């Protein structure tokens, strides 16, 4: 029975004919209930990985995966929104964006992941805050959002359970890098949040999963079409991931970097990206008439303390003691874990910073314990970097450009890699632009 189903589905995929919707739904049901043999799931995944499927089929697969578990529903205004990032280095946007949007009056029931490969994960960052609990049931997510305006919870098996197994099988069968499978995996989980609007940050460059603009745009188009097909107003922003984002990299350090921005200062690069994503969501939900107005609203709640106040409320609702959350907002370093060692690196040349290699920093951070190589690895929350140099800024030989926070002594390979990560030139390069392009349905 299962054999015939998979055979029929694979024949349709190979010949480019449309799969029967009933077959697709029976497949997802078998995956979610764990009744379909793993070998058969592998056969179908490999077939889709090799031949691809249509946008309509991707949308049907995504809808089926979304409906394989709980789907959050919301009363009142159609103002429920979220963003997804395909993963970057120093990408701490969610920690700032969720409370900033909530402070602007929209609701954000954010599901987030742990670090993947060389990229950091929102949940690992939040778990460096004492008491913060990311394991929320769908009911607890709804309650937190209705009282605070936002929550950030770890993906779990009550939401889109079909994805949990499909992702695990893709991971071991080398079928992760398939645009329809990535689309269904990401969009099904976001759609299960019951969203009205979604912004996708599709990273592109050496330190991103999508190395070229062409591949990033293809993924962006697929996700935008699918999410819009499910009734979610969606726009993708394709952004540069060659240079690290902001000044702080690493789990606890990114919490500090986020709080600095929530205090109304911090890294300008990080603030700009939060304004861009948040402004877009305020515009998509109809809270503001234009993107520019949306960006100004986000800037206002960062400057007047309302976003920080919401962040503190979210921490308290998710388990952090009030006194700890309040102290965290005022002086994050007094609350967050600190590394045993720190080492400063100095520039060996004078000139202009041509680039800081985000991938090299991510690889060193992961090896020092900020990321995992296998699911059982423990994260060292205090490990990471604080950057004092920025692309295109002048630098003098002997100036500090990065401080490494670490637990174990640095190896000579790490020292060499970090020294090579800073490139200096005699001349300034063209101004750096994080946003490469926007993809919306009208363009496709
Ligand atoms: N993140 C996901 O959740 N799924 C993918 O397939 C890739 C990245």
Whether 169 lines ligand 1, by a CB cut-off of 6 Å, is no
Whose CA is closest to atom 7 on ligand 1? Answer: 182
Mutation test of ligand 1: which of 116, 165, 201 has the most ligand atoms closer than 8 Å to its C-beta? 116
Contact 103, 299 (CB under 8 A): no
Closest CA to 85 of 193, 238, 268: 238
443: pLDDT confidence band, cut at 50, 70 and 90?
low
Write out pLDDT tens, residues 314-371. Answer: 999 999 999 999 999 999 999 999 999 999 999 999 999 999 999 999 999 999 999 9
Helix extents (H) in 246-402: 251-262, 268-284, 291-303, 306-317, 322-330, 358-365
Annotated catalytic residue within 68, 82, 83, 84: 84
As a whole number, the mean pLDDT across the chain is 95
* Cα dihedral value 357, 361, 366, 367, nearest 10: 110
pLDDT at 444 over 80: no
Its pTM stands at 0.95
Whether 112 lines ligand 1, by a CB cut-off of 6 Å, is no
Average pLDDT over residues 300-309: 98
Instruction: Dump strand ranges (E) for 349-413.
Output: 351-356, 384-387, 394-395, 400-406
Whose CA is closest to atom 6 on ligand 1? Answer: 182
- A 10 A CB-CB count for 424 gives 18
**Is 406 a catalytic site residue?**
no
What residue ranges define each of the domains in the chain, with the CATH number in brackets? 2-53 (no CATH), 81-329 (3.40.1030.10), 341-425 (3.90.1170.30)
Write out pLDDT tens, residues 82-98. Answer: 999 999 999 999 999 99
Average pLDDT over residues 7-34: 94
The C-alpha R_g of the chain, in whole angstroms, comes to 22
> Distance from the CA of 176 to the center of ligand 1, in angstroms?
8
Angle between the 179-191 and 161-173 helix axes, to the nearest 10 degrees? 160
Q: For the chain, report the end-to-end CA distance as a whole number of angstroms.
A: 39
**Is 33 a catalytic site residue?**
no
**Is 327 a catalytic site residue?**
no
**Is 170 a catalytic site residue?**
yes
**Is 357 a catalytic site residue?**
no
DSSP one-letter code for 373 = S
């Amino acid at each position: 029975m299962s054999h015939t189903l998979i055979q029929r589905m694979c024949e349709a995929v190979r010949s480019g004919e449309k799969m029967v919707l009933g077959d697709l739904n029976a497949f997802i049901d078998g995956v979610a209930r764990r009744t379909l043999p793993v070998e058969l799931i592998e056969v179908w995944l490999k077939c889709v990985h090799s031949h691809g499927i249509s946008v309509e089929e991707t949308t049907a697969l995504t809808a089926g995966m979304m409906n394989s578990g709980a789907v959050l529903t919301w009363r009142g205004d159609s103002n429920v929104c979220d963003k997804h990032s395909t993963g970057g280095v120093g990408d701490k946007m969610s920690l700032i964006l969720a409370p900033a949007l909530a402070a602007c009056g929209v609701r954000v029931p954010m599901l987030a992941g742990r670090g993947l490969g060389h990229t950091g994960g929102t949940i690992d960052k939040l778990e460096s805050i004492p008491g913060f609990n990311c394991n929320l049931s769908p009911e607890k997510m709804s309650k937190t959002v209705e009282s605070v305006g936002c929550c950030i919870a770890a993906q779990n098996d009550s939401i889109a359970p079909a994805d949990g197994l499909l992702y695990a099988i893709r991971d071991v069968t080398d079928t992760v890098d398939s645009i329809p499978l990535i689309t269904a995996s990401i969009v099904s989980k976001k759609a299960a949040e019951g969203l009205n609007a979604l912004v996708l940050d599709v990273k592109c460059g050496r330190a991103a999963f999508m190395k070229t603009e062409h591949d990033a745009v293809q993924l962006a188009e697929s996700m935008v079409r699918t999410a819009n097909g499910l009734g979610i107003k969606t726009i993708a922003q394709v952004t540069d991931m060659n240079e690290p984002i902001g000044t702080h990299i690493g789990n606890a350090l990114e919490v500090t970097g986020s709080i600095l921005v929530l205090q109304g200062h911090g890294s300008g690069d990080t603030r700009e990206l939060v304004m861009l994503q948040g402004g877009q969501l305020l515009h998509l939900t109809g809270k503001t008439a234009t993107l520019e107005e949306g960006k100004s609203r986000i800037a206002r709640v960062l400057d007047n303390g309302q976003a920080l106040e919401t962040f503190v409320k979210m921490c308290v609702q998710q388990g952090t003691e009030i006194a700890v959350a309040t102290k965290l907002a005022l002086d994050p370093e007094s609350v967050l874990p600190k590394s045993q060692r720190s080492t400063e690196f100095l520039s060996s040349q004078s000139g202009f910073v041509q680039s800081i290699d985000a991938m090299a920093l991510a690889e060193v951070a992961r090896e020092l314990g900020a990321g995992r190589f296998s699911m059982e690895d423990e994260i060292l929350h205090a490990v990471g970097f604080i950057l004092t140099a920025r692309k295109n800024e002048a630098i003098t030989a002997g100036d500090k450009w990065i401080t490494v926070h670490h637990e174990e002594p640095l190896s000579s390979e790490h020292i060499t890699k970090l020294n090579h990560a800073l490139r200096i030139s005699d001349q300034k390069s063209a101004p750096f632009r994080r946003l490469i392009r926007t993809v919306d349905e009208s363009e496709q």
